Chains A and B, each alone.
Chain A
């Protein structure tokens, strides 16, 4: 992949860039913000200003067109923040968690919890005390990478509100943190910025669920979200990123992780498709002995689009990465998966594995997958691979020959493709709630999904029952 910033090749692209970027910069200037955020905002502004607007020729955006963003002005603030029965949108049954809820980028205190656990600083930026403000100023913008992704640069430039989770040394956050980002239809196109900053000191432990949902109406809000995660020596973060918004949603996200000595990052990413949905996950193995485990599932259908870019930087020696992504594309949907593992010269004894498997359910569905390995150290073990397949006719016939209808057989086989990843989700309430939600993607006819969801007969519960 080329590292050189592509040139603007024609006038038309330039105009688009200027329109979107100038509007964005003008918008950013109107925002009120805390003084502690000035530095990151200014550097973000400069980074954004210097980045070209991506075109089809920009490697990182080759298969994701941003034309839609230049048709209308998205660079204005959201206006609607009242929602009735918002809790229906994000409820995860039986999940005992600290919950922070944002509607169109604005914090909703009535739907959110407060926490008083020793060693934990958990707050929204707008309500931070002096200690917390110092923590935010100290850490924000340190990890987010603005060079590749203009939306992250813009997010830095526009950072205002967000969530801070700081876990002190040797401390364990006693419940998962569930951060809910809800979007709803607006009077005009607009942008909601969201931010999340997680700092785990040495030997700390936490579980963070980033949840993106929307109302079922047509969406005209662009969500620009950036998460920064610092994991201290020997610390562990269990991370979930769940995208279940309406298919008209626009999302640009980034998760940026710094791993220190012997630390662990375990991440599950589940994404349904949107109008444009793109998120980047960048993990830096900065110190020896760190481990990164990422599992992802993407399920676009109809005319949806989803684009996931992952970048794993093995900077230090003796680090391990295990990355598995699976996608099922239906109808005329389109997915992009780009997974890059980069082994730096000092990263001897690196172990890295990347697997991406894709299932196309229709002749018109598309996947563009690109696993990449770039290795500059000689004593490493790395593997990467991608496959693209259709449903197995033999397996389908086998099920039919036992009386199972063709439509049900297809759903069983499709679900089987992601079942293993879903089953490996350690947080039980999440696993149980995700199954029906994802099954619904294949059919809303319950008679066709009943057997994949049958608690008593699936591979899932049976393991516990023995």
Chain B
């Protein structure tokens, strides 16, 4: 599904990713862990096509397509979804208007017809319930005045509506209390399927108690320095990142 080869990227003249390799197959969940400043968030931003992140080398192939050649919106339409670490507030654009515009664009790209308003509204309300958000949130401005937890649940709501092929969760667990964490994890788990993959970027092992990964990778200084199964996360939690960084492993 996703093959990253020797990816190098810089932000404002600073090299952040320095030859990253990753192979994600359909249905797999990969966790990427690492210390602050390792390049975890940069990876999500580069993959989703954010301006200001310059790819200086390497290849990224998503379902056989070179996505580095595509605009952010085209990547999203191809089925790539980034759940933001800090979802932005957009007063004046309602959540519903935003979701409808998004769904229409993605369905059009897939060659499907636009969903009629009634069906769309019903679906949106259903998904709201699934992530434990009141229906009123649909009418409010996108993330406007939402708490940290509500913003993250809104990300999962969007993910459920858009049904992407690859979901990248960028430190979705940061700033969440245990209840919100469970809601988010349940949302993700409900979306697991043999043809949908996840990359879970996180600093802490905690989220992985709820979303059990197939693989755990450690990102340090722009590269993946260690990969393993889910037990690697526990080991990291116990020994700290210095264990890897100091090369003691």
Contact = CB atoms under 8 A, between A and B. Distances in A.
B96 A462 contact: yes
A459 B96 CA distance: 8
B100 interface: yes
Contacts of B146: none
7 contacts: A398-B90, A400-B71, A401-B49, A405-B73, A458-B94, A459-B92, A466-B135
Given A399-B90, A403-B109, 20 more contacts: A397-B50, A397-B72, A398-B87, A398-B90, A401-B50, A401-B73, A401-B75, A402-B76, A404-B98, A404-B101, A415-B93, A416-B92, A419-B92, A451-B97, A454-B97, A456-B121, A457-B94, A457-B100, A457-B120, A459-B140
A401 B82 CA distance: 7
Interface stretch (A39-47, A198-206, A406-414): A406-414
Given A398-B88, A402-B76, A420-B91, A459 B139 contact: yes
B97 A412 contact: yes
A406 B139 contact: no
A395 B92 CA distance: 12
A49 B90 CA distance: 52
A462 B139 contact: yes
A412 B140 CA distance: 15
A459 B162 CA distance: 20
B50 A403 contact: no
Interface string B137-171: 01111100000000000000010001000000000
A95 to B, nearest CB: 25
Interface of B: 48-51, 71-73, 75-77, 81-82, 84, 87-88, 90-94, 96-102, 104-106, 109, 117, 120-121, 135-136, 138-142, 158, 162
Interface of A: 392-395, 397-406, 408-409, 412-413, 415-420, 451-452, 454, 456-459, 462-463, 466
B44 to A, nearest CB: 10
8 A-B pairs with least C-beta separation: A416-B92, A462-B139, A459-B94, A403-B76, A402-B102, A456-B117, A451-B101, A419-B92
Nearest to A423: B92
Contacts of B82: 401
Contacts of A406: 71, 73
A416 B141 CA distance: 9
Contact of A393 (B51, B77, B84, B96): B51
A451 B101 CA distance: 6
Contacts of A458: 94, 96-97
Nearest to B120: A457
Contact of A398 (B84, B105, B120): B84
Interface centre among A399, A409, A413, A452 (most CB of B within 10 A): A399
A245 to B, nearest CB: 26
A416 B91 contact: yes
Contacts of A454: 97, 100, 117
Given A395-B88, A415-B92, A416-B92, A401 B97 contact: no
Nearest to B89: A395
B88 to A, nearest CB: 5
Contacts of A395: 88, 90
Interface centre among B76, B99, B101, B140 (most CB of A within 10 A): B101
A409 B51 CA distance: 15
Interface centre among A392, A405, A451 (most CB of B within 10 A): A451
B76 A401 contact: yes
Given A397-B72, A408-B101, A420-B91, A459 B141 contact: yes
Contacts of A420: 91-92
A409 B105 CA distance: 12
B67 to A, nearest CB: 13
Contacts of A402: 76, 98, 101-102, 105-106, 158, 162
A413 B139 contact: no
Interface centre among B77, B94, B99, B136 (most CB of A within 10 A): B94
B101 A412 contact: yes
A152 to B, nearest CB: 35
Contacts of B48: 401
A140 to B, nearest CB: 42
B76 A417 contact: no
Nearest to A394: B88
Contact of B73 (A393, A403, A456, A463): A403
B106 A403 contact: yes
A404 B73 contact: yes
A454 B139 CA distance: 13
B96 A457 contact: yes
B134 to A, nearest CB: 10
Nearest to A451: B101
A397 B82 CA distance: 11
Contacts of A405: 73, 105
Nearest to A453: B97
Contacts of A418: 92
Interface centre among A393, A404, A418, A458 (most CB of B within 10 A): A404
Contacts of B90: 395, 398-399, 413, 416
B92 A400 contact: no
Interface centre among B88, B93, B109 (most CB of A within 10 A): B93
A417 B91 CA distance: 8
B84 A452 contact: no
A394 B84 CA distance: 11
Contacts of B73: 400-401, 403-406, 409
A345 to B, nearest CB: 39
B154 to A, nearest CB: 11
